[in-house]
Structures are given as C-alpha cells and as structure tokens.
A and B are shown apart, each in its own frame.
Chain A
C-alpha cells in the first residue's frame, strides 16, 4: 500500500544552464541558477511568477529576490550534495499540505569558474569555524577535502568484503561509457577533454594517486553546473505540455555530519532513507528499472547500490562489472555519465534529478543531452543523493505515467 504522500506531486520539467562543465568564460553561481530557471519555465510553460515555493541549497532568499518572487514556502536545506533530493521530499510534503502548488528546486554552482574568479560569486559560505569539531579534530592531520576522507571508507570496505580498487574501477569504466553518449559530458570524447572517451580498469588504476586507494579516475570532476526542476500538484501537472514524472516515494536520513562519527565505514544512511522512500511508494528495489546514484567517488556509488538493496552487501560493484549498469545493460545506472565523467559542481544532487526526469519522460536522447543509445526504457528510477562525508542521504522513487 503506497503512503499518503505517494504521487501527491510530480516533477513536470527539468532543465540546465546554457553552458555547463568547463565554460570558456567564467560564470557566477547566480547566472547558472537563472539560466536553468528560465529554461525550465520555457520548457513547461509555467511562468516564473507562478512559482510559490523556492528550494535551494543556501541561496533561496537571494534566488527569490532575483526573480522578484515573494514565495509562500522558502527552504534552504543545505546538507551537501543530497540537499536537492531532500528539497523534492519537502516540496512533496508542502504541496500535499496545500501550502504551495508550484515548487522550484534550483542549483547553481561554479566549481570550475571560481578558480578564475578568485572564489567570488560562488554563492556559498566561506571559511570554516575553527571550533567546529570536524575542523578542530581533523584539520591538524593534513586532510584536504572529500577525497582524503572517502578513501578511508574504501579501505574499510576492502578489508571487510575483500573488494579491490580494481573492482571499484569498474564503476568508473561503465560510467564513462554513458558519458560517451552525452555530448554535454566533460569526458564525452577527445573533443571535449584530452583524456575523454572510453577508459579501461587499467587506465583508472594507473591514473595519478590522490588518496590511496583512490586514484584520480575514482574521483568526480569539478565543473560548473546550473539546473532546475519544477514540481507541481497533480492538477497542474495534468494541464501541462510536458510529461509528469511522479514522486512515488521520498525519504531522507543521516548517519553523521563529520566522519569522526561514522559508525560503519561500509554503510550509509541510504539504507534508512531508501526504506522510507520504498515504503511510501509501496515498491521495493525489485520494482526499480534503473538508478541514479550519487558518484562523488566510485566507492560512493558502490556502497550506495548496496544500501538501496540493488545488490548484496559487499557486491555493489558487480552491477557495473557485469555490464548491467552500462549502456545496453539490464539495469542502467548513471545514464548521464555521472559525477565521475559528466559533471560534478561540488554538489551533484540536481544533476541526478535532471537526468532521472529526462529518462522517465522519454527526453534523454535529443542530440544535445543524449545521443542514440542513451534513452532507456525504464519506467521507474531510484534516485539517491549523498552529502558531506558519506553523511547525509536523500532517496526518491520516481515513476513515469
């Protein structure tokens, strides 16, 4: 039995900024937001003025002001890359409660351009509190950023389950195959990047060591991205020219904020957020026909597949190694080319949403965002965002009409 909130709202459109990846001229986060919002308004025919809920990971009031909106619901949940899956969860609840009927979830982040702008125009708070426990008891030990943390989880997974770096490299290889079908992917081909195009496990393992056991190609890109989705009540969804993708289930959870408090380095709260989402949907992993899984690192995707019930514990990587997750496989995963090979701006949850909408609405293969072979026949998709240091998760079960 689906829960009360199941299908109480639908994603009715999803769009990106005009230029993403490595733009030739630097972009600000605000520009990336606005281009995506304008594009999703044009796509759906919903005027920007009709939006009455604004959801963003840290900039909601500035976004609403820039749009000249006075929304009835403002949400700035910012707990890392999964924030956008949580925004969808919150929008579903707010629409079901009758508070709003048109929600905008938006993302703009210039992970690439901020190198050229001296860190200006990022739209994110800067500078860490020296007394934050994560800073105080970790920073003295030389760790710098996500790769230096996530590697500890991969070591533990290898110890516990006997997995190897080469097993996880299979995830990068299959994901790159999807990127070759996405012209907007940074690693699409030699034309888009000197190192683009197909890779092998050997290529991954021989790339530069970043934080053992993670080499460079186990690690996501750092790019620019703007993306936006619109979520409406069923009544509005049925009146639009675009196809609705129904939010059948949604859930969120967290195990910790900083990695000092990660109890089990081989598990994430996706097990809990997925259980909530599946329960709401009245569906289970066996009903899913594809997945969009946050792949900040190969290990993130491998562990998450296990948490979502798509593979037994310790065997998540086999979905990729067996070719099931690759183009033409029986269970497509990360059909946009992933954070590993398509685009990863720092927070990747919006990229997951946009591609899930495209796949389930049958618009994943338009020559711009996808070449022949990218569109799958999937009618259901489990989407899972992961934020922080394997800390926070948001899971959605999305279904086509």
Chain B
C-alpha cells in the first residue's frame, strides 16, 4: 500500500541522514571539535560554534523524554488517530521527534517516560525513508 502520510523533502544539509535512513542506519551530525552530537543538522555546531561537522552512525537507541496522544490529525495521519507522538532522548545526546510505535494510544497511563526505545525506518518512497521509534521489549 502506498505511503499516505506527509513525505519530507530531503534537504542538502541533512543528506547523510536521509541516505542513512534509506540504508536503515541512524546517521547523526557530530562536532569534530567538541565531540557533541546535535539534532537537527546544523551548518555550525550549536554548542561550540565550530563549522567542523562530521556524520557518525548512532546506536539507534534512546529513551522517551515526553509524549502526547494525538486525537486530531490531517491527511493520512487522521486515519491512524489516536496515535502517540514523542520526543526521544538519544543515547548519543540531543533529542528527536517521532511517532512512537509499540504503545497503546488508548492507555496513555501505560506509557512510561524514560522507557527505552529503538529506531526503525519505513520507506515512504524509493528515495525517502522515515525514522520511527518503537518501545523496546
């Protein structure tokens, strides 16, 4: 079935992330000078303002920082509502936003902040894959 939700238009700055996603890898930008990983991709390191940025493969693991249950949505997401959105603290540092998988949106009390999550990718088109995070068993 064709992917029916919003498909991002990859940008030049984030190309290594999008290429990585296509290959099933979580690629993250890291500052060569201060060694800090940041998200979203920057031209200049937000911590030390160096312009010496490299890309590294992340562990694909993280923890739920906070979440919400979306009961209203547009387009393809409307068909899935309610669904859970979450901010994920990456093991490597900084934070990503996602739709969380492996949770019951009708029981928000059962979803625990701090739970371990793992990344997975879904191919939206031949060129674009989207990162989702799933609660690890």
A-side interface residues toward B, CB under 8 Å? 130-131, 133, 136-144, 147-148, 151-156, 159, 208-214, 259-260, 265
Contact = CB atoms under 8 A, between A and B. Distances in A.
B72 A156 contact: no
A155 B97 contact: no
B113 A137 contact: no
A152 B85 contact: yes
Interface string B43-81: 000000000000000000000011111111110010011
B97 A156 contact: no
A211 B87 CA distance: 15
B136 to A, nearest CB: 19
A210 B68 CA distance: 10
A137 B70 CA distance: 17
Contacts of A260: 39-40, 87, 95-97
Given A140-B6, A144-B73, A155-B113, A212 B82 contact: yes
Contacts of A156: 65-66, 113
Question: Which 10 pairs from chain A and chain B are nearest by CB?
Answer: A142-B77, A151-B68, A212-B69, A156-B66, A133-B40, A131-B11, A142-B73, A209-B71, A130-B9, A159-B113
Contacts of A159: 66, 113
Given A159-B113, A260-B40, A142 B66 contact: no
B8 A140 contact: yes
Interface of B: 5-9, 11, 14, 39-41, 65-74, 77, 80-83, 85-87, 95-99, 108, 113, 124, 130
Given A136-B11, A142-B83, A211 B72 contact: yes
Contacts of A212: 68-69, 71, 82, 108
B70 A142 contact: yes
A258 B41 CA distance: 13
B87 A152 contact: yes
Nearest to A156: B66
A16 B112 CA distance: 46
A210 B6 contact: no
B77 A155 contact: no
A198 B11 CA distance: 50
Q: B69, B81, B97, B130: which has the most chain A beta carbons within 10 Å?
A: B97
